[in-house]
Amino acid sequence: MADFHLSASMKQGKLYFNLSGRIASQNVTDLSNILTSERKNHPNGSVVFDCDNLVYISSAGLRVLLSFNKKETEPIKIINVSPEAYEIFDITGFTEIFDVSKKLRDFSNAPDVHMMGVSGGVTVYYVGNETLLKVYPEGTSLETVETERQYSQAALIFEIPTLIAYDIVTYKGQYGMLYELTKAKTVYSMIGNSMMNQIRYAEAMGKLLKQIHSINPMIDSIPKISDVYKKYASDMSKWFYPKEVETLIKLINAVPEADTLLYGNFNARNVFVQQDGELILLNMMNIRYGNPVHDLGQIYMIYKNTSEKMLKRLSGFGLLQAGKFWDTMMSGYFGTADINTFKKYEVIFSAAASLCSALYPAAYKDSNGMDMSINDIEFFVSQARRDIFPSVEKIAEALMASKIFLNA
């Protein structure tokens, strides 16, 4: 084989073929043979051709791709095509046959780039004074980034305060998203040691969450939270016994279904404050739809975790500050300063938090593209065995009672 190189790898259930060099009539037979061989070695998943380093492809090479595509059950996708190679795809009409996307702009050497912060595996940078660059964890697929861009656009339609995601780029070998932005900081960084700021922003976050939960998304591409959670339960089978996985699925099924928009990662480190004081959302990767108790349970897990060490790691706050933040956020959510109004739901919040905690290692990997440390996984597994399995019926009863939130 000469002039080109092909390697294959599985990423998030898809088979990626990485093409580089020149594909011409002299080597198309080699290309065809290697594709056939690698497909036999990796029979599952749809196919994505990454042409980041492809310099040239002839009409004979295009015919090989066309022939390969005819044997697939799902259409192949071709990404990172250089302007020169894209012109060949376009002139020959292959852009009408395949899903072809041009090579992304590389911001690795962009001037005036400095870090803003890290949240959920995502690193955020300022680029100059008006652009924000969000860089995804290594291993995140382009499809995931494109999906979040679609969700960001949908959020604007739903009148959720968010930023305009206007371009997908690369940064030091990882995918990134560009946003228009005036200077903004996370709620967590704005609070500092100010009790006044904590009350102000926690209440505002509660109101924003309630606004999100008033939306019926009606978009087919947004996944249902119960389906996502069942997949997480299955993914946790490495750590839980089969009966325990069955119990988790039973608890997921106990939660009444709903068509409410869910944010999925709502905390002070993931909500931003613009210069005018408006709260905005940036991370749309975890948008789902379902019962609001799933969002509320995750937030409860973050701010009311029974482990002070884990509470500090998840929220950044100490025990008293985290509890106060939760109470104030719920005051904003329920529209009352009477803590007793939502304290009566404590058993429901706790049950939803226990379920979320049991699935959290799988959710973490889904969001960050990497496993938790073994020690952290063992913490959440042992916590589930202590809090869930001895009291399954009580937790199921509490989760079923979450129907109260559907019309709250």
DSSP of 19-77:
EEEEE-TTTHHHHHHHHHHHHHHS-SS-EEEEEEEEEEE-HHHHHHHHHHHHT-SS--E
Give the separation between CA 386 and CA 269, rounded to whole angstroms: 28
pLDDT tens digits, 106-150: 898 888 888 877 766 788 888 887 788 989 888 788 888 888 888
What is the average pLDDT value for the chain, to the nearest integer? 88
Confidence at 243, pLDDT banded by 50, 70, 90: very high
Distances (CA, A) of 393 to 126, 247, 294, 400: 49, 10, 18, 11
How much is the pLDDT for 1?
45
Do 164 and 155 contact (CB within 8 A), yes or no?
no
Cβ burial, residue 275 (10 Å; 0-12/13-18/19+)? exposed
Do 317 and 303 contact (CB within 8 A), yes or no?
yes
How much is the pLDDT for 52?
83
pLDDT tens digits, 353-392: 999 999 999 998 877 767 889 999 999 999 999 999 999 9
Q: At what angle do helices 59-70 and 28-41 cross, to 10 degrees?
A: 30
Confidence at 335, pLDDT banded by 50, 70, 90: very high
Report the DSSP beta bridge partners of residue 243. Answer: none
Residue 303 predicted with pLDDT over 90: yes
End-to-end CA distance of the chain: 66
Token readout for 122 is 């995502």
* Strands of the sheet with 99-102, listed across from one edge: 4-11, 14-23, 47-57, 77-81, 99-102
Neighbours of 137 (CB within 10 A): 15
Using a pLDDT cut of 70, give the percent of the chain over it: 98
pLDDT tens digits, 281-302: 888 888 899 999 999 999 999 9
Distances (CA, A) of 80 to 20, 99, 102, 104, 262: 11, 11, 5, 6, 32
| N residues, the chain | 408
Dihedral Cα 313, 315, 321, 324, nearest 10 deg? -140
- Look at the alpha carbons of 233, 238, 242, 243 in this order and tell me if their dihedral is positive or negative: negative
H helix or E strand, kind and range, residue 193: none
* Cα three-residue angle 120-126-127, rounded to 5 degrees: 135
